[in-house]
């Protein structure tokens, strides 16, 4: 089993099963680490490592899963696993559908647009299937042929994937305290004060 990084050790077992709301999540060092890695060094693997544990500790919250899937989608895209990226971006859209425009100090409306744009870059023909795209975004019922998928693994077959070059995007932080905490962590990381755990392949 891979060793856990500083942020995961810092939280320990005290937070297991505790759901303290949006404010508590924003203050969690794992969430701060997620924002730092997503926007700072673009270490999407570490995004997966810290967010997966936070997601599990918070009752498998769908918004946290949507954030996790967006990061892993970028990880796969950068590593030329475009099929994996498409699957994760589609899942992220579904998990973020219906979420508030702003939550956990992040502009989720903008994030949805970024994920949607990435999905369309990889599946340009999806723009010709508005019913499927609307269903993925949770705006309408899915097209005839089955119930709405409940998870990324149940996303229906999407159009042909294009060889689109990697196009990263960033999270827009709208909470001043979260922005300051992520910036402080970035300074410590760059100085060598934060290191991730052992490497595994994210889901």
What are the residues facing 106 on neighbouring strands? 103, 173
Most confident of 17-21, 51-55, 137-141, 161-165: 51-55
- CATH of residue 149's domain is 1.10.3450.10
User: Residue 9 has what pLDDT?
Assistant: 38
In angstroms, the CA 81 to CA 85 distance is 6
C-beta of residue 39 within 8 angstroms of C-beta of residue 182: yes
CA 34, chain centre distance (Å): 9
Q: Is residue 194 part of a domain?
A: no
Q: What is the pTM of this model?
A: 0.77
What local confidence, expressed as pLDDT, does residue 52 receive?
95
Angle at 61 between CA 182 and CA 198, to 5 degrees: 55
Q: Is the pLDDT of residue 70 over 50?
A: yes
82-105, pLDDT tens digit by residue? 989 999 999 999 999 889 999 999
Domain that holds residue 129: 22-189
Q: Is residue 136 part of a domain?
A: yes
- The confidence band for 77, taking pLDDT boundaries of 50, 70 and 90, is very high
CA distance 34 to 106: 12
203 assigned to some structural domain? no
- Give the chain's domain count: 1
**Tokens linked to 163:** 């060889």
Does residue 48 form part of some domain? Answer: yes
Question: Which tens digit of pLDDT belongs to each residue from 164-199?
Answer: 899 999 999 999 999 999 999 999 988 885 554 444
Tell me the per-residue pLDDT of 102-159, one tens digit each, with 9 for 90 and over: 999 999 999 999 999 999 999 898 888 887 777 777 665 544 554 444 444 455 567 6
Query: What is d(CA 183, CA 32) in angstroms, rounded to the nearest whole number?
Result: 9
Query: Cα(149)–Cα(5) distance, rounded to whole angstroms?
Result: 34
* Within-domain flag for 7: no
Does 62 fall in a domain? yes
Q: Is residue 34 part of a domain?
A: yes
Could you tell me if residue 200 is inside a domain?
no
70 neighbors 88 (Cβ within 8 angstroms)? yes
């Amino acid at each position: 089993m891979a060793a856990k990084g500083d942020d995961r050790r810092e939280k320990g077992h005290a937070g297991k099963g505790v759901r303290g709301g949006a404010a508590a999540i924003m203050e969690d060092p794992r969430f701060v680490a997620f924002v730092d890695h997503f926007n700072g060094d673009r270490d999407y693997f570490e995004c997966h490592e810290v967010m997966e544990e936070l997601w599990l500790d918070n009752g498998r919250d769908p918004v946290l899963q949507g954030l996790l899937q967006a990061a892993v989608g970028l990880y796969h895209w950068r590593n030329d696993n475009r099929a994996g990226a498409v699957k994760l971006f589609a899942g992220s859209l579904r998990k973020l559908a219906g979420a508030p425009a702003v939550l956990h100090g992040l502009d989720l409306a903008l994030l949805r647009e970024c994920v949607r744009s990435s999905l369309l870059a990889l599946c340009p023909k999806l723009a010709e299937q508005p019913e499927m795209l609307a269903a993925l975004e949770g705006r309408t019922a899915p097209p005839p042929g089955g119930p709405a998928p409940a998870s990324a693994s149940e996303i229906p077959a999407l159009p042909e994937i294009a060889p689109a070059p990697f196009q990263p995007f960033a999270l827009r932080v709208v909470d001043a305290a979260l922005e300051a905490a992520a910036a402080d962590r970035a300074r410590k990381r760059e100085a060598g004060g934060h290191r991730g755990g052992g490497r595994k392949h994210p889901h």
